[in-house]
């Protein structure tokens, strides 16, 4: 083991070349958020993953981001346990009614500026589970979504591309959403949130994979609030 | 006399600044080396600075019903550890603040930081954070005494508990290698691992098994930045403490020329790099011990400290 | 057992491949009583329709039978007194169908958190919600100075939603209870009225890590109900997919458990091997998790020669990479210090709950659906079912490590002997009932379907093995310290998504 | 000297006044106000004497003594130092009592006994002969017994009985010790005792004195009862009995063994240090087991005195082995800690009293969240706790630092056994300090932090300003001594030097701003610098953080994994907090046993948990003894529940019989 570990120092890591930011996503993100207040977080983002009722396929792929091949940490991204430490909520699954409150509370516990990334087909609009009595349908029904990563499940490379777009974006001045106290309830947020465009088509056998793309969605929020207000 | 005092004050200022830069660098270096050992590319060396900056720019969420202690603790802990780090000679021994605290007082400062952290965790009231405080209390109860016993041995061999004096004593060749010193080094290393929540006692990403992370679960934004920075400082304190006592070579002494501090800086960087590699190797190669074994681990560290002191006091008399 | 059940009531025609007997109330009670005397009879599942309940039993010889009780009054005698594994299944039946389990030892609600827009969603006329959610009553713990440590439903770093509630005194665990149902998406209601293809896609998303096993069980059940025979090449390919999935998951969990015990090196290596399998699966079948590749009637994609080669290479890489890690695990006493004796499951408890998979096999129960009752093509393949006796985390790890080796060999055998031919057969649209048992990496998946005349789904119940393993996880954690919680949790790796439906 | 005697007389006059006006509206104010004035005067006069301002002490009151009782009083450095400590504690307790006007009418007997207790504790250091010393001791003992008797706390009667037995036992031991010391001579004045002791060193005297005071300061194995006694009284009495009384007992030890008998020698010194270390360690562990705030503080008081004993014993060993510098360091540390003890233990009891008065609760598990509701009390408690835990920059750390520096000299001891013994004692003492830090975290964390765990705790409020100052003053004093210890050490060193008979320069005050004992080169500590630097850096940090990051902040409910807070039962329990430490340390020594009755999976019955933890001394030895003694006492006197006249009569009778016994023996 020692030999292998020391050998690792000499070997080149088997990492894939860093995926560039997903095309289009960054421009979208910037266009949507620039009018909000200017906070620059730099090349460092902490991610709190939330499973809001997914089939755990997305979780498998998200976990894979930590392995040597994708090596999430080289971009300055890392997963954290407490939402208090997080900047990004990476949410998967069609929000089940049973997880609705928990998702909202976690969102509320996260300090501003923060982003919500909807990851996977179900997270966008409920996916195959849309219409069930148990499912609220789409993350944006509960919290505002800033970035959407489709696919069932999206491959690690696709998730990584989305997250890299986000970090590129956060490294640029004038990126993040405002900071301010808020007291809304789940219902308020849901009302505030405009129905974002849905991904065309369901998830079929052949389009399920490789068709993953990153879409940016508007985050319609209340009136802009400046830092420190 | 005045020139000397100004020189000491200047060195002290330099030292206070140096530790602020060196602490995140050491942490970043350790995670970089660890990542490379695991065959990953790992985060950039400067990532800890970026993380701290990001946290500083964020909003701070403070839990309901916490008191002033919760918000004051990050500042107090950080400044306490900053002072403590500034008191350990790194590149030069003639520091102005040296008489403010010797090694014993340094242990006291570390204890203050630990107690404050635990109180802040208890202030959040409940759940896992409080359990983190419980676990940290076990580390604290074992680490402080074990460290003092190891210091006892070292101080008895070097006839002082003042760090600059100890370093100078070693540099002057006044101490021959002894078994007791090796055991004391072992004890101090074990404690450094335990106190910094490093493997094999603890490690990142262990969920409910962690000690270190649990107490800071409710912190966010600038408070979290300070808590994390304090953690980095603590690691630096332990590393530079061991370097100062056991390998002081390269350190600039008060009488040395103007170039000596520069050499001292280089030597310090090399020592910290060595410590970083050693730590990363330990973390990659070891298995985390269960918390039920934590008592044993601390007990062994305490025993090692005791043993060092006993060996030394027996051999000194002979 | 078959004779006994047959003596209780008449067999229902059109149920394949195992018999289903309709029992009356007295016979059902006789069955409950008999179950109390026969520890060897395993309760594989219990599910309901709007006015009847079914249970599936398996004896030591691998005979499987389904018993049905019509309950027009909306109540049925509970099996929980004889088989504690039935408790949660019956609580779910109460929540979804409103059928009342009499003398249920634990009548608290289960999947229903009072958050749905309806109550009893699968009953004939779902009433509106009560709208006044009451706090869930957790099981009590008594003693001086106890405190509660809650985790979740958002917990860990990347984890499924479940609320874990620990009652402890310092580091001593006094009680551990998991509350599930957070991932309840209502799959059982979504599939109703859909065609088998659409339903297959939903069932494949029951639990992403065992998507092949669930899809396979569903496909087999549908094929049994409709009398479809999948082409031989499809049967063999399905087994290949299933073995690849087993290998990938065992690798991931072996690494994660070692990582939890504090050996990040093994975790990193295993993660890379798992990635290797996923990449090969994508190259060969076009999906990293092989989701939607198994469909009723066969498989959706054929395996090309290059793809077979790619898989072969991946298998070889896993073999080369994994065996040294297992040796490393065996050689490290400090690692085994964490795993040996941690999270112990007693054999009799595992039997009472009918836990299958590596959880059961780690405490001496050798049940494996691939062998008993067995399904094609496994009777033609040479493999062993590893069993350990200790029931602790170490035993589970070693069982899983040996299963990886067996699965590698199985996959290689399949690649060697893969028959030629078509891979998809048409599924007739006809009425029928089918049951299938398929071994997922966690244990046997039991899926039961009833099809309507037009071939749409009338009722489908996929029972994930986690149903029977969660209670054992709770018991195993109670015997450990708080600090071993995540290690224990990982060594079981029960799924929430698969369980919550 | 006259000032001190005057204040003692004032206190003695207050007693009948209290008895007479006790039921009146102003009785309590009169008595406690008088006590404040008397103790402040006495403390100031003693401090002045210590500082070298001679206020007529040159002429001891021998002539003014009552010839037929051969009572004589006087003042030297040692007496003056202890008078400072005792009267500081007395002053703070009296101020606190003065502030507690809401209690209305106190029982007259209690009002009368209170000034007598202070007077008795003043008489002990003032005494110039064994007889007067024992008289003072006896007066204090009986007065505190009366105070306990009049307490309304549950178990006070039993505590009073035990206290009386312990006092009587201590008195008897001391009597015999002095008798042995005096030998054939009937003159019990200190001068003649000194001469007599020098002529024939009495080997058993140190043992008898140690045994005599062991009950008073709770040295192991007599530590079992003291916490109960200390926890039983009202706050002002507990503060006095825990803060000042043991210091008086410690004075008796120093006077009898070091001054009169010329030092205990290596053997008894080592024994004292060993017992002290064992006491401190045991007390720290016990304090982690207790669940009531006053009891924890009682145990903590015992532990803090254990450290004093460690220093004293160490000083004796060093002195006997020709290491005067180390001896001076150790004794300075011990003396300083004695004064610290009087201040911070008094403070902690007063703060605990305020908490109990405000909430009616003393169980840790029923308190919580008081830091927002009683901010001043919390601040004072935190200061006292930090002093107890020997955390810089408070006074407790200065004493611990001096003791550690003294122990660093252990390798210079010639005897290897002693060296290793010193190491063991040092390790135990250090460990106990670390454990006490946890005791403080546990107390402060559960009482003042988190969310209130009972309605009473939620409704609590800080006490009135007078009572508040009675806690804040000692807290400030703790910080002051910790930050600027040198002036005090300058006063202590001559005391230590006089006791050890060494030149004065042995001590710890070579530096200007920092402590720098000459014995060890380069070792230095400055609380002032540390505190100033930490505060500067904190301000600097806060400014920098604000500049970089702004100050956006919001309050939010706790994040409990997305579950709805608050979740019932989540606050950490007092015993749960201590469990991991106790499991490591107390498994064997305290028979720490946990039993978990787990329900099998599927069973909905309750899981059960039981914890067993006992002090072995208690179970093996004292429980049976105590039972027998209790039976005896109950039969003899019906114990606790006499009326006021009855108890006063009983007290007078007890005092008279003690005096008679003493006179006869003398």
Those residues of chain C whose CB sits closer than 8 Å to some CB in chain B are: 147-151, 156-157, 168, 170-171, 259-265, 268, 272, 332, 334-335, 337-338, 481-487
Reported confidence tier of residue D99, pLDDT bands at 50, 70, 90: confident
What contacts B58, CB < 8 A, 6 or more positions away? A41, A87, A111, A112, A113, B220, B221, B222, D549, D552
CA pair distance A90, A78, nearest whole angstrom: 12
Does the structure show a pLDDT above 70 at D200? no
Q: How far is D573 from chain A (nearest CA, A)?
A: 24
Lowest mean pLDDT among B158-162, C444-448, D450-454: B158-162
The tally of domains found in chain A comes to: 1
Structure tokens at D506: 């042995």
Domain of A109? 22-178
Q: Do C483 and B291 touch (CB under 8 A)?
A: yes
Lowest mean pLDDT among B16-30, B180-194, D64-78, D547-561: D64-78
Q: How far is B121 from chain C (nearest CA, A)?
A: 14
Q: How far is D357 from chain B (nearest CA, A)?
A: 22
Contact status of A97 with chain C (Cβ, < 8 Å): yes
Q: What per-residue confidence (pLDDT) applies to A203?
A: 31
Structure tokens at D352: 């605990």
CB < 8 Å to D365, chain C = 145
What CATH number should be reported for the domain holding residue C226?
1.10.645.10
Tell me how many helices (H) and strands (E) chain B has. Answer: 10, 1
DSSP state of D590: T
Does the structure show a pLDDT above 50 at A37? no
CA pair distance B280, B78, nearest whole angstrom: 24
Residue that wins the pLDDT comparison between A31 and C130: C130
What contacts A65, CB < 8 A, 6 or more positions away? A72, A156, A159, A160, A163
Does the structure show a pLDDT above 60 at A207? no
Residue A36 forms part of a structural domain: yes
Nearest of D393, D292, D397 to residue D352 by alpha carbon:
D292
Residue A67 forms part of a structural domain: yes
Does the structure show a pLDDT above 80 at D380? yes
With tokens 């006997």, the residue in question is: D320
Report the percentage of chain D scoring pLDDT > 70: 83
Q: What per-residue confidence (pLDDT) applies to B127?
A: 67
CA pair distance D367, D306, nearest whole angstrom: 29
| Per-residue pLDDT tens digits for D3-51 | 788 888 888 888 777 777 666 667 778 888 888 899 999 999 888 888 8
Residue C58 forms part of a structural domain: yes
Return the residue in C260, C262, C394, C490 with the most chain B beta carbons within 10 A, the one to mutate for interface testing.
C262
With tokens 């505002």, the residue in question is: A144
Mean pLDDT of D651-657: 61
On the question of a cis peptide bond just before residue C377, with omega within 30 degrees of 0, the verdict is yes
Q: Coil, strand, or helix at residue D149?
A: helix
Of C50, C82, C102, the last residue of a domain is: C102
Number of residues written out for chain B = 318
Residue C273 forms part of a structural domain: yes
The tally of domains found in chain C comes to: 2
CA pair distance C481, B295, nearest whole angstrom: 14
Nearest of D597, D159, A198 to residue C478 by alpha carbon:
D597
Beta-ladder partners of C450: C433, C459
CB proximity under 8 Å: D 576-605 to B: 576-577, 579-581, 583-585
What CATH number should be reported for the domain holding residue A72?
3.40.50.12280
**Chain C nearest-CA residue for A131:** C190
- Most confident region among B228-242, C158-172, C359-373 by mean pLDDT: B228-242
Q: Do B50 and A76 touch (CB under 8 A)?
A: yes
Q: What per-residue confidence (pLDDT) applies to A216?
A: 41
Return the residue in B292, B293, B300 with the most chain C beta carbons within 10 A, the one to mutate for interface testing.
B292
Find the CB nearest B292 among C156, C168, C481: C481
CA pair distance A54, D471, nearest whole angstrom: 58
Contact status of A101 with chain D (Cβ, < 8 Å): yes
Mean pLDDT of D391-420: 87
Return the residue in A92, A134, A152 with the most chain C beta carbons within 10 A, the one to mutate for interface testing.
A134
Interface size C-D, in CB pairs within 8 Å, comes to 125
Q: What per-residue confidence (pLDDT) applies to D338?
A: 93
Residue A183 forms part of a structural domain: no
With tokens 């609009």, the residue in question is: A125
Positive or negative, the Cα torsion across A124, A130, A132, A133?
Answer: positive
Does the structure show a pLDDT above 60 at B4? yes
Mean pLDDT of A207-218: 38
Return the residue in C162, C268, C325, C483 with the most chain B beta carbons within 10 A, the one to mutate for interface testing.
C483
Mean pLDDT of B187-204: 77
Nearest of C361, C338, C335 to residue C441 by alpha carbon:
C361
| Per-residue pLDDT tens digits for D508-538 | 555 556 777 765 556 778 888 889 999 999 9
Sequential DSSP letters for D247-261:
HHHHHHHIIIIIIIS
Q: Are C65 and C21 in contact (CB under 8 A)?
A: yes
Residue that wins the pLDDT comparison between A187 and C317: C317
Q: Do B36 and A1 touch (CB under 8 A)?
A: no
Q: How far is A8 from chain C (nearest CA, A)?
A: 11
Chains that touch C (3 or more CB pairs under 8 A): A, B, D
Contact status of C282 with chain A (Cβ, < 8 Å): yes
CA pair distance B207, B188, nearest whole angstrom: 27
Q: Are C65 and C5 in contact (CB under 8 A)?
A: yes
Lowest mean pLDDT among A40-44, C11-15, D573-577: A40-44
The per-residue pLDDT of chain C, averaged, comes to 87
Reported confidence tier of residue C382, pLDDT bands at 50, 70, 90: confident
Q: How far is C245 from chain B (nearest CA, A)?
A: 25
Does the structure show a pLDDT above 50 at A191? no
Of C49, C76, C102, the last residue of a domain is: C102
Q: Coil, strand, or helix at residue C76?
A: strand
CA pair distance D623, D615, nearest whole angstrom: 10
DSSP state of D564: P
Nearest of D124, D107, D142 to residue D8 by alpha carbon:
D124
Q: Do D571 and B68 touch (CB under 8 A)?
A: no
Of C47, C68, C102, the last residue of a domain is: C102
CB < 8 Å to B287, chain C = 261-263, 332, 334-335, 337-338
Interface size A-D, in CB pairs within 8 Å, comes to 31
Residue C433 forms part of a structural domain: yes
| Residues C94 and C213 placed together within one structural domain of the fold | no
| Residues C93 and C204 placed together within one structural domain of the fold | no
Residue C241 forms part of a structural domain: yes
Report the percentage of chain B scoring pLDDT > 70: 91
Reported confidence tier of residue A178, pLDDT bands at 50, 70, 90: very low
Cα-based distances in Å from A180 to A174, A177, B15, D547: 16, 10, 39, 18
CB proximity under 8 Å: D 539-598 to C: 560-563, 567-580, 583, 594, 596, 598
What contacts C174, CB < 8 A, 6 or more positions away? C141, C143, C146, C167, C168, C478, D596, D598, D607, D608, D609
Mean pLDDT of C276-293: 89
Domain of C69? 2-102
Contact status of D446 with chain B (Cβ, < 8 Å): yes
Find the CB nearest D606 among C142, C155, C478: C142
Report the percentage of chain B scoring pLDDT > 90: 22
CA pair distance D342, D350, nearest whole angstrom: 12
Phi-psi region of B289 (alpha: psi -120 to 50; beta: other; left: phi over 0): beta
Positive or negative, the Cα torsion across B254, B256, B257, B263?
Answer: negative
Q: What per-residue confidence (pLDDT) applies to D473?
A: 92
| Per-residue pLDDT tens digits for D412-428 | 888 888 888 888 898 89
CB < 8 Å to D562, chain A = 99, 101-103, 105-106
Positive or negative, the Cα torsion across C251, C254, C259, C265?
Answer: negative
| Per-residue pLDDT tens digits for D557-567 | 888 888 877 77
Q: What per-residue confidence (pLDDT) applies to B273?
A: 93
Does the structure show a pLDDT above 90 at B81? yes
Mean pLDDT of A101-120: 88
Q: How far is D405 from chain B (nearest CA, A)?
A: 8
Structure tokens at B64: 């309901």
Per-residue burial over C23-59, b if 16 or more Cβ lie within 10 Å, else e, is beeebbebbbeebeeeeebbbbbbbbbbebbbbbbbb
Does the structure show a pLDDT above 60 at C251? yes
| Per-residue pLDDT tens digits for C71-100 | 888 888 888 888 888 888 889 998 888 888
CA pair distance A86, A49, nearest whole angstrom: 9
């Amino acid at each position: 083991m020692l030999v292998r570990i020391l050998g690792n120092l000499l070997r080149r890591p088997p990492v894939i070349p860093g995926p560039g930011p997903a095309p289009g996503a960054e421009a979208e993100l910037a266009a949507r958020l620039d009018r909000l207040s200017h906070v620059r977080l730099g090349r460092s983002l902490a991610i709190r993953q939330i499973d809001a009722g997914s089939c755990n396929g997305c979780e498998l792929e998200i976990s894979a981001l930590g392995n040597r091949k994708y090596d999430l940490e080289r971009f300055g991204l890392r997963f954290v346990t407490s939402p208090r430490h997080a900047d990004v909520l990476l949410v998967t699954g069609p929000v089940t009614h049973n997880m609705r409150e928990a998702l909202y509370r976690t969102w509320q516990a996260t300090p501003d500026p923060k982003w919500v990334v909807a990851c996977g087909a179900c997270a966008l609009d409920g996916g195959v589970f849309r219409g069930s009595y148990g499912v609220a349908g789409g993350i944006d029904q509960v919290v505002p979504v800033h970035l959407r990563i489709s696919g069932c499940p999206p491959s690690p490379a696709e998730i990584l591309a989305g997250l890299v777009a986000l970090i590129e974006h956060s490294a640029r001045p004038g990126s993040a959403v405002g900071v301010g106290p808020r007291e809304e309830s789940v219902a308020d947020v849901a009302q505030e949130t405009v129905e974002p465009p849905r991904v065309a088509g369901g998830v079929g056998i052949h389009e399920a994979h490789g068709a993953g793309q990153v879409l940016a969605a508007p985050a319609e929020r209340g009136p802009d609030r400046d830092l420190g207000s | 006399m005045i020139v000397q005092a100004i020189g000491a004050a200047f060195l002290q200022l330099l030292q206070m600044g140096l530790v602020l830069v060196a602490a995140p660098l050491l942490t970043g270096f350790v995670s970089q080396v660890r990542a490379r050992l695991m065959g990953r590319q790992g985060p950039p060396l400067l990532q800890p600075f970026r993380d701290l900056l990001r946290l500083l720019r964020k909003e701070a969420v403070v839990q309901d019903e916490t008191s002033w202690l919760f918000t004051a603790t990050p500042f107090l802990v950080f400044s306490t550890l900053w002072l403590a780090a500034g008191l350990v000679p790194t590149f030069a021994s003639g520091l102005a603040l040296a008489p403010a605290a010797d090694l014993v007082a340094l242990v006291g400062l570390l204890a203050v930081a630990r107690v404050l952290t635990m109180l802040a965790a208890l202030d959040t009231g409940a759940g896992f954070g409080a359990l983190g405080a419980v676990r940290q209390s076990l580390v604290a109860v074992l680490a402080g005494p074990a460290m003092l016993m190891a210091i006892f041995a070292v101080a008895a061999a070097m006839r002082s508990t003042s760090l600059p004096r100890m370093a100078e004593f070693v540099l002057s060749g006044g101490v021959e290698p002894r078994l007791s010193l090796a055991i004391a080094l072992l004890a101090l290393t074990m404690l450094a691992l335990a106190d910094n929540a490093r493997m094999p006692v603890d490690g990142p990403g262990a969920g409910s098994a962690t000690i270190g992370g649990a107490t800071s679960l409710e912190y966010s934004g600038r408070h979290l930045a300070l808590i994390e920075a304090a953690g980095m400082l603590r690691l630096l304190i332990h590393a530079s403490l061991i370097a100062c006592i056991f390998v002081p070579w390269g350190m600039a002494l008060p009488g040395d020329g103007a170039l000596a501090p520069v050499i001292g800086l280089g030597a310090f960087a090399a020592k910290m790099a060595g410590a970083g590699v050693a730590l990363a190797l330990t973390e990659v190669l070891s298995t985390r011990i269960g918390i039920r074994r934590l008592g044993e681990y601390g007990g062994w560290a305490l025993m090692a400290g005791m043993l060092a002191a006993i060996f030394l006091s027996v051999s000194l008399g002979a | 057992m078959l004779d006994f059940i047959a003596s209780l009531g008449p067999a229902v025609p059109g149920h394949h491949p195992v018999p289903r007997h309709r029992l009356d109330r007295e016979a059902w009670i006789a069955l409950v009583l008999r179950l109390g005397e026969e520890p060897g009879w395993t309760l594989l599942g219990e599910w309901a329709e709007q006015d009847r309940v079914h249970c599936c039993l398996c004896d030591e010889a691998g005979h499987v039978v389904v018993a049905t009780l019509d309950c027009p009054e909306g109540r049925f005698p509970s099996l929980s007194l004889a088989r504690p594994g039935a408790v949660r299944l019956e609580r779910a039946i109460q929540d979804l169908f409103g059928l009342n389990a009499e003398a249920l030892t634990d009548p608290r609600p289960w999947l229903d958190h009072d958050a749905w827009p309806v109550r009893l969603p699968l009953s004939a006329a779902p009433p509106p919600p009560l709208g006044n959610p009451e706090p869930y009553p957790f099981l009590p713990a008594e003693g001086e100075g106890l405190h509660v440590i809650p985790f979740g439903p958002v917990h860990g770093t990347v984890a499924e939603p479940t609320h874990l509630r620990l009652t402890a005194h310092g580091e001593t665990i006094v009680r551990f209870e998991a509350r599930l149902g957070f991932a309840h998406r209502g799959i059982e209601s979504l599939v109703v009225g859909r065609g088998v293809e659409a339903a297959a896609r939903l069932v494949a998303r029951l639990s992403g890590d065992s998507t092949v096993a669930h899809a396979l069980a569903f496909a087999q059940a549908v094929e049994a109900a409709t009398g479809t025979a999948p082409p031989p090449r499809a049967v063999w390919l399905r087994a290949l997919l299933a073995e690849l999935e087993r290998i990938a998951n065992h690798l991931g969990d072996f690494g994660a458990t070692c990582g939890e015990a504090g050996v990040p090196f093994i975790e990193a290596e295993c993660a890379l091997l798992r990635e290797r399998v996923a990449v090969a699966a994508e190259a060969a079948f076009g999906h990293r998790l092989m989701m939607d590749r198994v469909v009723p009637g066969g498989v959706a994609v054929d395996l090309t020669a290059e793809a077979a080669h790619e898989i072969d290479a991946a298998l070889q890489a896993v073999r080369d990479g994994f065996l040294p890690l297992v040796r490393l695990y065996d050689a490290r006493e400090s690692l085994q210090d964490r795993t040996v004796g941690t999270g112990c499951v007693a054999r009799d408890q595992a039997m009472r709950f009918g836990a299958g998979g590596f959880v059961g096999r780690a405490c001496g129960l050798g049940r494996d659906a691939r062998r008993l009752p067995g399904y094609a093509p496994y009777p033609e393949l040479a493999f062993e079912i590893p069993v350990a006796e200790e029931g602790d985390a170490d035993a589970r790890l070693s069982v899983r490590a040996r299963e990886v080796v067996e699965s590698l060999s199985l996959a290689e055998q399949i690649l060697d002997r893969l028959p030629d031919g078509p891979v998809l057969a048409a599924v007739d649209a006809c009425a029928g009932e089918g049951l299938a048992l398929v071994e997922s990496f966690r244990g046997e998946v039991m899926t039961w379907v009833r099809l309507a005349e037009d071939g749409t789904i009338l009722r489908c119940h996929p029972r994930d093995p986690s149903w029977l393993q969660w209670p054992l996880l709770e018991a195993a954690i109670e015997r450990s310290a708080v600090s071993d919680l995540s290690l224990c949790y990982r060594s079981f790796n029960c799924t929430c998504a698969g369980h919550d439906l | 000297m006259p000032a001190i005697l005057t204040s003692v007389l004032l206190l003695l006059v207050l007693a009948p006044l209290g008895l007479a006006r006790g039921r009146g509206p102003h009785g309590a104010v009169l008595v406690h106000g008088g006590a404040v004035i008397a103790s402040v005067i006495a403390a100031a006069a003693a401090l002045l004497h210590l500082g070298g301002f001679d206020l007529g002490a040159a002429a001891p009151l021998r002539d003014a003594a009552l010839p037929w009782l051969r009572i004589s009083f006087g003042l030297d450095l040692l007496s003056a130092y202890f008078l400072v400590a005792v009267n500081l504690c007395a002053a703070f307790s009296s101020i606190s009592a003065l502030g507690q006007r809401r209690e209305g009418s106190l029982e007259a007997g209690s009002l009368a006994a209170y000034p007598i207790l202070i007077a008795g504790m003043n008489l002990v250091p003032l005494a110039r002969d064994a007889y007067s010393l024992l008289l003072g001791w006896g007066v204090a003992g009986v007065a505190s017994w009366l105070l306990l008797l009049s307490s309304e706390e549950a178990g006070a009667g039993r505590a009073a009985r035990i206290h009386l037995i312990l006092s009587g036992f201590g008195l008897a031991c001391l009597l015999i010790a002095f008798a042995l010391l005096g030998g054939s001579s009937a003159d019990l004045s200190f001068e003649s005792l000194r001469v007599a002791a020098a002529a024939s060193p009495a080997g058993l005297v140190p043992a008898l004195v140690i045994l005599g005071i062991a009950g008073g300061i709770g040295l192991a194995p007599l530590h079992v009862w003291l916490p109960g006694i200390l926890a039983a009284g009202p706050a002002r009495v507990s503060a006095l009995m825990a803060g000042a009384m043991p210091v008086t007992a410690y004075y008796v030890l120093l006077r009898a063994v070091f001054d009169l008998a010329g030092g205990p020698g290596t053997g008894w010194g080592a024994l004292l240090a060993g017992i002290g270390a064992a006491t401190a360690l045991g007390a720290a562990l016990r304090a982690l087991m207790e669940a009531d705030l006053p009891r924890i503080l009682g145990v903590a008081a015992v532990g803090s005195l254990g450290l004093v004993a460690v220093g004293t014993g160490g000083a004796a060993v060093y002195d006997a082995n020709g290491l005067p510098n180390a001896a001076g360091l150790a004794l300075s540390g011990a003396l300083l800690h004695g004064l610290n003890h009087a201040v911070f233990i008094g403070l902690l009891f007063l703060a605990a009293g305020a908490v109990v008065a405000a909430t009616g609760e003393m169980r840790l598990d029923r308190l919580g969240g008081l830091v927002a509701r009683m901010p001043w009390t919390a601040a004072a408690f935190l200061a006292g706790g930090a002093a107890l835990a020997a955390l810089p920059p408070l006074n407790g750390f200065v004493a611990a630092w001096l003791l550690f520096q003294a122990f660093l000299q252990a390798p210079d001891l010639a005897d290897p056994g002693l060296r290793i013994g010193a190491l063991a004692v040092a390790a135990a003492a250090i460990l106990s300090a670390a454990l006490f830090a946890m005791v403080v975290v546990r107390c402060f964390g559960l009482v003042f932090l988190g969310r209130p765990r009972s309605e009473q705790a939620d409704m609590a409020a800080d006490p009135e300003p007078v009572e508040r100052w009675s806690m804040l003053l000692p807290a400030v004093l703790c910080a002051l001594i910790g930050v600027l210890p040198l002036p005090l050490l300058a006063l202590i060193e001559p005391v230590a030097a006089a006791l050890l008979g060494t030149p004065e320069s042995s001590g710890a005050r070579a530096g200007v701003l920092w402590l720098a004992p000459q014995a060890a080169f380069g070792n230095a500590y400055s609380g002032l610098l540390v505190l100033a630097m930490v505060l500067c850096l904190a301000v600097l940090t806060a400014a920098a953080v604000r500049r970089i990051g702004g100050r956006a902040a919001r309050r939010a409910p706790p994040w409990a994994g997305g579950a709805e807070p608050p979740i019932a039962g989540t606050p950490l329990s007092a015993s749960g907090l201590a469990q991991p430490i106790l499991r490591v340390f107390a498994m064997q020594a305290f028979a720490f046993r946990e039993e978990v009755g787990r329900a099998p999976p599927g069973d909905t019955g309750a899981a059960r948990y039981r914890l067993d933890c006992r002090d072995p001394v208690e179970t093996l030895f004292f429980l049976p003894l105590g039972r027998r003694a209790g039976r005896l006492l109950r039969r003899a006197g019906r114990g606790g529940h006499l009326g006021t006249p009855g108890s006063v009569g009983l007290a007078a009778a007890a005092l008279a019989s003690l005096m008679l016994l003493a006179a006869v023996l003398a």
